[in-house]
Amino acid sequence: MALQLGDIAPDFTQESTDGPINFHEWAGDSWVILFSHPADFTPVCTTELGEVSRLKPEFERRNTKAIGLSVDPLDDHTRWVGDIEETQGCGLNFPLLADADRSVSEAYGMIHPNASGTNTVRSVFIIDPARKVRLTITYPPSTGRNFAEILRVLDSLQLTDSHKVATPVNWQDGDDVIIVPSIDNEKAKELFPNGWDEKKPYLRVTKQPNK
């Protein structure tokens, strides 16, 4: 069964380009982006691994670690790393799990039972420091992942965990936010002293509180 939001992300120990990884221990008190690939030497995934390497400072700024996964063995990973640096201009700077036995893929429900091979191993998970799954996305093989969107969701999750707000459609960090309906106006006056625009009793728009 696929993981649901709020589930505890399964722990595992697996080989990687950075040596054996015990997942929960490796994650520590960080957020984690875990994303998977159907095989090594695949064109779309090559571009993605380069992009995540370039984005490492952005992940670090958000107390977040990235970790990739492919179902090929470690020797293939080692050769693929050279191709990634050559073609993307950025060397791999985060672990890539060698899930040759598919134990991690199976534990995370990445392989659709009716799919042939590993074509559906194109998943993304955002996992918080309490090890809870906070986002899941599965992409088709032909479509590269949008890591700007993944960073946007990460910003939203971290903001809404700290403040009694939700983020509206197309929100970007710094935009106005919505006061959650569970907070009445009296409490909202304490939490949002600069006020809000009440478009409807359930739709109260305010400035992002941490800006």
Report the catalytic residues: 45
E strand map for the chain: 13-14, 21-22, 31-37, 64-70, 96-98, 123-127, 133-138, 165-166, 177-179, 197-200, 203-206
Q: In what helix (H) or strand (E) does residue 162 lie, and over which residues does it extend?
A: helix 147-162
Report whether 6 contacts 95 (CB < 8 A).
Answer: no
Distance CA 42, CA 105 (A): 18
- Which residue is it, tokens 């009694």? 164
Distance CA 141, CA 51 (A): 17
Burial degree of 120 (CB within 10 A; 0-12, 13-18, 19+):
buried
Q: Report residue 112 CA to chain centroid gap.
A: 20
